[in-house]
């Protein structure tokens, strides 16, 4: 249990602006962005350890100035992140706007909480709310919503954490990661520029011949909300984590991933081929463990995940296109099948089916994505993040992150995926469950591999 006497104290809240951004930005949101307009902020945490024996100890005092200076330089490349989402009365849709003088709110805090407990990957007793003091709130009111807020928390003699709160209508996971990597690069190399692969791309030429952006915007404008106006940018209320919720982090080593793949291959022998990517087999395994843990009674079970569309649009857009460019996909399976002897094959089949048509029909049905995103009775799981982002390569000059966490999954109910901190091709997943359920999940997750 967390020690109630340990605390995180706010030291200052400063505003960091791009150092030389002369260009004002006004990026109209596309339908990919508007889909997330009312979503709560995506909150992530990166922990960095500074070992007492390391030569970096002497530089502990320089952490904060280095991070602030490099942030300001990084924002030169990402000025919209210092801006706000607004929805002017005369605009049919919301806009991400950056004006000179806009800045990112950066909270600086100091914590005497147990750093090692917070970064432990084997701990399934970390209360969900223990990370909350380490991530900042995002400034949101009816008229505007900040794109980004940051918090740097120092753990004297141990290390520091960077907490991020990002508006999902401003950027998706890929660009949030790109921003952090650019910041880390500039900080580590004491540079003011980044290599091309870390540069965002601002051309907004996303194909939208049927004006899905207006369909989504009108959805909000026509909603019967008890708000001063339907252009309000206040997010929908998402549930707080129930009391007794804990976080768990689980590892798929490369050997475990291969074992699942082999098992599905053997069982599928006589049938058609299926998509046996790392994403597919690990998501299937985690999904089954969750369904068993939650003792789901509904007949059909759904799993929603995002697909990066950047390379899948016609014509393709830049890999570093700034904004959102993800499409929701839903895997649907019968609970009987998922819980049965061939549950893995059933789950892999369902995910494979949901992945069909990505290269030529990616936007089919996009008019209805807004409905897909609404909570539904038989929809259970939502995948956030991706192992392909290589989060653990985000090195500000003090080494790889000791731990990464998507804090906001405790409100969205998602399960997050990232690469593993060992950098060996493994995968890490994070879940938030009630304590008893977490114990059941941990046991199922471990036992499943014994049975492979």
Ligand X SMILES: CC(C)(COP(=O)(O)OP(=O)(O)OC[C@H]1O[C@@H](n2cnc3c(N)ncnc32)[C@H](O)[C@@H]1OP(=O)(O)O)[C@@H](O)C(=O)NCCC(=O)NCCSC(=O)CC(=O)O
Return residues touching ligand X (CB under 6 A): 42, 172-174, 275, 277-280, 306-308, 326, 355, 384-386, 388
- Provide the b/e sequence for 178-217 (b: ≥16 CB within 10 Å): bbbbbbbbbbeeeeeebeeebbbbbeeebeeeeebbebbb
Q: Which strand ranges, in their side-by-side order, compose the sheet holding 95-98?
A: 25-28, 95-98, 84-86, 144-146
Q: Report residue 226 as tokens.
A: 């008890």
**Tokens read off for 423:** 């950098």
In the complex, minimum distance from the CB of residue 307 to ligand X, in angstroms, rounded to a whole number: 4
Residue 248 Cβ, how far from ligand X at the closest point, in Å? 18
> Distance (Å, rounded) from C-alpha 328 to C-alpha 39?
14
| Angle of the 278-293 helix axis to the 254-268 helix axis, nearest 10 | 90
Rounded distance between C-alpha atoms, residue 402 and residue 65, angstroms: 21
SS3 288: helix
| Beta carbon of residue 319, minimum distance to ligand X (angstroms, whole number) | 9
| Residue with Cβ nearer ligand X (87 or 305) | 305
CB of 384: closest distance to ligand X in angstroms? 3
Query: Least distance to ligand X from the beta carbon of 367, Å?
Result: 21
Q: How far apart are CA 402 and CA 236, in angstroms?
A: 33
- Smaller CB distance to ligand X: residue 17 or 150? 150
The minimum distance between CB 388 and ligand X, in angstroms, equals 6
CB of 312 to ligand X, least distance (A): 8
Shortest CB 174 distance to ligand X, Å:
5
Tell me, what DSSP letter sits at residue 13?
E
Name the residue nearer to ligand X (CB basis): 11 or 313: 313
Nearer to ligand X, 173 or 448 (CB): 173
DSSP β-bridge partners for residue 49? 159
Q: HEC string of 22-64?
A: CCCEEEECCHHHHCCCCCCCEEEEEEEECCCCCHHHHHHHHHH
Query: Residue 315, preceding bond cis, omega within 30 degrees?
Result: yes
CB of 189 to ligand X, least distance (A): 26
Residue 328's nearest CA partner among 365, 286, 378 is: 365
Measured over the CA atoms of residue 384, residue 389, residue 391 and residue 395, the dihedral's sign is negative
103: closest CA among 78, 83, 73, 77? 83
**How far, in Å, CA of 381 to CA of 288, rounded?**
11
Contact in structure between 135 and 181 (CB atoms under 8 Å): no
Q: Is 254 exposed, middle or buried (0-12, 13-18, 19+ CB in 10 A)?
A: middle
């Amino acid at each position: 249990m967390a020690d109630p006497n340990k605390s995180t104290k706010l030291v200052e809240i400063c505003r960091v602006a791009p150092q030389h951004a002369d260009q004002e930005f006004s990026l109209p949101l596309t339908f990919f962005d508007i889909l997330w307009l009312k979503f709560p902020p995506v909150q992530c945490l990166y922990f960095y350890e500074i070992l007492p024996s390391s030569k970096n100890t002497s530089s502990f005092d320089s952490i904060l100035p280095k991070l602030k200076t490099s942030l300001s330089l990084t924002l030169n490349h990402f000025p919209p992140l210092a801006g706000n989402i607004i929805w002017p009365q005369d605009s049919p849709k919301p806009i991400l706007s950056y004006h000179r003088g806009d800045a990112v709110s950066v909270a600086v805090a100091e914590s005497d909480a147990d750093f090692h407990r917070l970064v432990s990957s084997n701990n399934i007793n970390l209360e969900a709310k223990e990370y909350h003091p380490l991530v900042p709130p995002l400034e949101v009111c009816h008229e505007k919503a900040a794109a980004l807020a940051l918090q740097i928390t120092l753990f004297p003699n141990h290390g520091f954490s960077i907490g991020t709160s990002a508006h999902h209508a401003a950027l998706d996971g890929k660009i949030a990661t790109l921003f952090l990597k650019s910041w880390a690069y500039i900080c580590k190399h004491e540079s003011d520029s980044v290599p091309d692969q870390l540069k965002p791309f601002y051309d907004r030429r996303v194909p939208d011949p049927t004006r899905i952006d207006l369909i989504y915007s009108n959805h909000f404008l026509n909603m019967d909300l008890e708000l001063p106006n339907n252009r309000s940018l206040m997010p929908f209320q998402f549930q707080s984590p129930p009391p007794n919720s804990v976080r768990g982090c689980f590892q798929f080593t490369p050997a475990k991933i291969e074992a699942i793949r082999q098992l599905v291959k053997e069982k599928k022998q006589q049938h058609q081929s299926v998509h046996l990517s790392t994403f597919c087999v690990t998501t299937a395994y985690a999904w089954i463990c969750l369904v068993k843990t939650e003792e789901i009674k509904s007949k059909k079970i759904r799993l929603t995940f995002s697909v990066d569309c950047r390379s899948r649009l016609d014509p393709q857009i830049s890999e570093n296109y700034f904004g959102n460019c993800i499409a929701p996909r839903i895997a649907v399976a019968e609970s009987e099948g998922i819980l049965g002897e061939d549950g893995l094959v059933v789950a892999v089949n369902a995910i494979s089916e949901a992945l069909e048509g990505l290269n030529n029909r990616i936007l089919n049905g996009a008019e209805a994505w807004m409905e897909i995103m609404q909570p539904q009775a038989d929809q259970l799981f939502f995948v956030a993040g991706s192992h392909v982002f290589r989060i653990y390569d985000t090195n500000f000059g003090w080494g790889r992150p000791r731990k990464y966490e998507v804090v906001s999954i405790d409100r969205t109910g998602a399960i997050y995926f990232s690469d593993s901190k060992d950098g060996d091709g493994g995968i890490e997943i994070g879940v938030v469950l009630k304590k008893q359920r977490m114990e059941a999940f941990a046991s199922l997750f471990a036992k499943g591999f014994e049975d492979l």
